[in-house]
A = this chain, B = another copy of it.
Amino acid sequence: METPNMSSTITEMTTTHPAQVDIDRELLAECIAACVECAQACTACADACLSEEMVAELRKCISTDASCADLCEATGRVLSRHTGYDANITRAVLQACAQACKSCAEECEQHAEMHEHCRICAEACRRCEDACNRVLAAIG
């Protein structure tokens, strides 16, 4: 099997949605992709930290990873829905997700030199934070 090209599936799903979508669909698809990527990276990073010898020093990282994963997942889902679109929900969830990604990135960055999984996760968090902020700017 070829590894699925997830970004292109997300773009296709966003493009073929029959509802009117007021946000640029390309921008939206990028943000959903960033949320989905970050959610997985955070779930994996939490468990990778848990297996590290220095687990006691990674407590905050593990807990923040878990909450960031939950928020990214919820945000990716909310952004995938356009039926009866409510800008207030979208704005609030994007703000929460950007905040969680920022906090999680700051935490992971502290361990990035020591743990590759923290470095990769921090980068996914920054991409997701940026993507959320771009959609927020577009919504106004």
Residues of A within 8 A of B (CB): 1, 3-7, 9-10, 12-14, 16-19, 29-30, 32-34, 36-37, 39-41, 43-48, 50-52, 55-56, 59-64, 66-71, 73-74, 76-78, 80-84, 86, 88-89, 92-93, 95-96, 99-100, 103, 107, 115-117, 120-121, 124, 127, 130-131, 134
Contacts and interface: CB of A to CB of B under 8 A. Distances in A.
Contacts of A116: 12, 16
B7 A48 contact: no
> Could you say which of A92, A96, A121, A130 has the most chain B C-beta atoms within 10 Å of its C-beta?
A96
A59 B84 contact: yes
A43 B64 CA distance: 13
13 contacts: A3-B7, A4-B7, A9-B41, A13-B48, A18-B48, A40-B76, A43-B77, A59-B84, A60-B83, A67-B78, A69-B77, A92-B96, A93-B100
A32 B79 CA distance: 21
Contacts of A45: 13
B117 A103 contact: no
